[in-house]
Chain A
Amino acid sequence: MLKKITCIECPLGCPLSVEMEDCRVIRVSGNKCPKGIIYASSEAENPARFLTSVISSRGLSLKMIPVRTDKPIPKSSLAEAMKEIKRLTINRPVKTGDIIVNDFMREGINLIATRDCV
């Protein structure tokens, strides 16, 4: 089976042709760099995205503190992850990269702050 997808790893957005056999990727073409092949495999077998959002704070200089997952999470769990994020508030100063939730969506993926806030 031939699948056509767009690589989203960089702004070039190469059009990829992905040849699949039994749900496995056997050949990728159209990529201008090796990252396209890795992307095609994960996209075809288990699509994942970085989740970015903001968390409200209490008593800090910024009203909302931006956060992201430190690795891409399965596309299918984005909605569930957002629900979790909406339940959170931050009430202590954070530095960029600080872990807000350890092992956020299991599989060792953390939720981290993306801006300093005092």
Chain B
Amino acid sequence: MITRDLVIIGGGPAGMAAAISAHENGVRDILLLERDQYLGGILNQCVHTGFGLEYFKEVLTGPEYAGRFIKKLSAVPAIEVSLKSFCVSLTREKEITYIRPGALERIRAKALVMATGCREKTREMTHIAGTRPAGIFSAGLAQKLINIEGLLPGREIVISGSGDIGLIMARRFLLEGAKVNAVIEIQSTTRGLLRNVVQCVEDFEIPVYYNHRISRIRGRDRVEAVDVVKVDEKFNDVKGSDFRISCDTVLISVGLIPENELIEMAGGMPIDGIFQCGNSLRVYDIVDSVSKDSAETGRAAAEYLKNA
């Protein structure tokens, strides 16, 4: 089995920053594995502005922010990037199995950086009663469909949850010509950044119902409406406050959780020589902090290799 000095799993902003910094700190054999066919991670679908203000002192979109790191990384020959490479298993001895087109590879790493990002919570969907018709999407999936695939997955939208992705998608759908009938938030304030409330929903006079929840999704084959109910401070339904909003699509935007299946497979942290960064460590609001912190992780991995 081939042994590499440093293997990084995930080519989003976290993995890229860790790779560049590890190289700057003396590591000369780096393999970056990314399952997608492009580097950049989630940033590629975040076509809105709001990135880079701290790191680059400029207003950038997600792809522009990612592009700067891709350029920097490509200029370093010691960093080998393997795209379409999906890691499927990991052991405590840092043996990695990954699939790439036409091959199943097994390698060992002296040090490993996990930068696999996060995934959207969907658990809370199961608390919503009613049928399971077509037309229910997580907000991030809808973002991918519109911005990467060029598909508009609905015409009349209700969004459950006021996290940043949900707010950004409210504006995105509206600009694409769909109607956004409501954002429903069970808390009394937004979970997202205030600036997104202003420029994504207030700008377009999209109604936001705080202290409300979707109690039922209606529709047989396709979503036809949602029932909405007011909740009190203890999140109990207020009797008789229900009303119905028609829609053909429900977006669920209820938060993100770190993606850590591989670490769990290896028996959980801590593992000697394995480092985590970016959204797979904790969910970040701002990518600039991901880049900054992940550079520290890259440096720590380089230190580890020096002492190994």
Contacts and interface: CB of A to CB of B under 8 A. Distances in A.
A62 B195 CA distance: 30
Interface in B141-196: 146-150, 175-177, 193-195
A62 B40 CA distance: 14
Interface in A55-80: 56, 62-64, 66, 68, 75, 78-79
**Interface majority SS (helix, strand, loop, mixed), chain B:** mixed
A75 B195 CA distance: 15
Contacts of A7: 195
21 contacts: A6-B194, A8-B195, A10-B53, A11-B50, A11-B195, A11-B285, A13-B194, A49-B199, A49-B203, A50-B49, A50-B59, A53-B47, A54-B150, A63-B149, A66-B63, A66-B147, A68-B49, A82-B175, A82-B176, A114-B61, A115-B67
B64 interface: yes
Interface of A: 5-11, 13, 49-54, 56, 62-64, 66, 68, 75, 78-79, 82, 86, 96, 114-116
A56 B198 CA distance: 28
B61 A66 contact: yes
Contacts of B148: 62-64
A14 to B, nearest CB: 9
Nearest to B49: A50
A78 B176 CA distance: 11
A114 B195 contact: no
A64 B49 contact: no
A9 B49 CA distance: 11
Nearest to A68: B61
B205 to A, nearest CB: 12
Contacts of B147: 54, 64, 66
Contacts of A52: 47-49, 61
A5 B203 CA distance: 12
Report the contact-size class of chain B (Cβ under 8 Å from the partner). 20 to 34
B295 interface: no
Contacts of A8: 194-195, 198-199
Given A13-B193, A52-B61, A6 B175 contact: no
B175 A116 contact: no
B74 to A, nearest CB: 11
Interface in B214-263: none
B149 to A, nearest CB: 6
A62 B148 CA distance: 8
B271 interface: no
B197 interface: yes
B47 A114 contact: yes
A56 B151 CA distance: 10
A6 to B, nearest CB: 5
B174 to A, nearest CB: 9
A13 B286 CA distance: 13
B90 to A, nearest CB: 31
Which one of A49, A53, A82 has the highest number of Cβ atoms from chain B below 10 Å of its Cβ? A53
B297 interface: no
B44 interface: yes
B61 A6 contact: no
